[in-house]
Amino acid sequence: MYDVVVIGSGAAGLMGGISASKHKKKILILEQLDEIAMKLKATGGGRCNLTNTLSLEPFMEKFGKNGRFMRDALVAFSSKDLQDFMKSIGVETHAPDGFRIFPTTHKSSTIIDGLKNKLTLENIEVLCGQKVVNVFKENDIFHIKTEQNEFLAKYLIVATGGFGYKNLGATGDGYEVAKSFGHSVNKLYPAMMPLLVKDDWVVNCTADTIAKATISVDIKKYNKLKATGDLIFSKNGIRGPVVLDFAREITPLFDTLNEIPIVVNLVKNRDENDLIEHFKINKKAIIMDSLLQIIPKSVALELLKIINIDPNLTYFSLSGEDKSRVLKIFTKTPMTISGSDGFKLAMITRGGVNLKEIDPSSMESKIIKNLYFAGEIIDIDGPCGGYNLQWAFSSGFLAGNLK
């Protein structure tokens, strides 16, 4: 018999177990893979962007309408608390760009090693290779059955994650556990992944990154859906930080749309007037030379080809109609998103256990006493920049804060 069993050894699960060890003596963390924290290991390309420097209110705003649910967890375990905790386990952190916070080593392995040492120090038992196949509660005791064993516990924390990083073993089993206890799970969508486009010209621009690109949906009803950041062209689509953020906003639109028209500003958010002023800097320069100062050559050539403009002409030698077409194609480049590879490449899941069924002050189920949820399994997801990891650690800390 354990005081607490935690299902899942990601950031939320590990923090849940560590937090619970302050209040309960016998803690067990179950992991279906052969190693703990595999998703944490892959986060941020292995660099592990833990959190960021935003204060509480603007941080919650980045999660949209569901962000208000996070308040108690973020107050209980803030960005500063996370950094202090990391320092206590031997992980120094810093914010090299003044916003995103990383371990100074820029290696997720540093964090995982620190967490492993903390688990040992707190006598928290961890069992890997334990795939949970059934969970139920009987006489106020949780029965957690794996393929090999059965474990009993007074408290249960479900921190299994969602379908994000499916190649690292994400199976969505936690959703079935939640449903078995009467919880509803809001529709699940892949989020934070590359997007596929119909536009053939992008294949000729695959070596280039566009800084500060802005993407927005070119449908009046959804034109408030937009994101800004670095964009990278691939052989059949677009990727990069701005695409990861944008993807989580638009995947639900594919419920009703077969494809999604977008417009992309590829000239660092310059509008048409700004672009005219840029061409005025050297009126005798050919269009290509002017554009090369703000956009890669391959992209400039492809867009000029689309509107049939000779790149060796000067901007001011063009007709009024051609000038207008040049301004429009670079400030509002039209593209069409045709889909994605779904959960195969998604880093996180949008959707999850219904927030109305969880007490935000404790992460405890409102349906089943002593059942707690933490991390990605809950219907909360944020953009790139340390938001989701902070939520995982904060919700895990609060879930484990058992009395």
Residue 173: which H helix or E strand, with range? helix 173-180
The reply to whether 109 and 172 lie within a common domain is yes
The reply to whether 208 and 264 lie within a common domain is yes
Query: How many other C-beta atoms can be found within 10 angstroms of the C-beta atom of residue 76?
Result: 17
Question: What is the SS3 assignment for 120?
Answer: helix
Closest residue by Cα to residue 71 from 383, 340, 380, 385: 380
Residue 291 has pLDDT above 80, yes or no: yes
Domain end marker among 339, 361, 388: 339
Q: What is the pLDDT of residue 216?
A: 97
Domain end marker among 339, 360, 379: 339
Residues 6+ apart with CB under 8 A from 317: none
Closest residue by Cα to residue 354 from 315, 380, 331, 386: 380
The reply to whether 23 and 93 lie within a common domain is yes
The reply to whether 129 and 60 lie within a common domain is yes
**Phi then psi for 311, rounded to 5 degrees?**
-70, -10
401 vs 403: CA distance, rounded Å: 7
Domain limits for position 83: 2-190+342-399
Q: What is the pLDDT of residue 192?
A: 93
Q: What is the pLDDT of residue 277?
A: 96
156 vs 180: CA distance, rounded Å: 14
Q: What is the pLDDT of residue 298?
A: 95
User: Which is more confidently placed, 127 or 42?
Assistant: 127
Q: Over range 54-78, report the average pLDDT.
A: 97
The reply to whether 10 and 72 lie within a common domain is yes
The reply to whether 316 and 378 lie within a common domain is no
pTM of the model: 0.94
The reply to whether 331 and 355 lie within a common domain is no
Please tell me the total count of domains within the chain.
2
Q: Over range 89-97, report the average pLDDT.
A: 97
Q: What is the pLDDT of residue 253?
A: 96
| pLDDT interval class at 29 (50, 70, 90) | very high
Q: Over range 288-316, report the average pLDDT.
A: 96
217 vs 227: CA distance, rounded Å: 10
| pLDDT interval class at 73 (50, 70, 90) | very high
397 vs 20: CA distance, rounded Å: 8
Helix 11-20 and helix 387-399, axial crossing angle in degrees, nearest 10: 30
Q: What is the mean pLDDT of the chain?
A: 95
Helices (H), 68-126: 71-76, 79-88, 108-121
The reply to whether 289 and 380 lie within a common domain is no
Dihedral of CA atoms 44, 195, 383, 246 in degrees, nearest 10, equals: 150
Q: Taking CA 221 as the corner, what is the angle to CA 197 and CA 258, rounded to the nearest 5 degrees?
A: 35
Q: 392: phi > 0 → left, psi -120 to 50 → alpha, else beta; which?
A: alpha
In this predicted model, what pLDDT tens digit does every residue of 154-183 receive, in sequence order? Answer: 999 999 999 888 777 678 899 999 999 999
Q: What is the pLDDT of residue 251?
A: 94
**DSSP secondary structure, 270-320, as one string:** --HHHHHHHHHTTTTSBHHHHHTTTS-HHHHHHHHHHTT--TTSBGGGS-H
4 vs 6: CA distance, rounded Å: 7
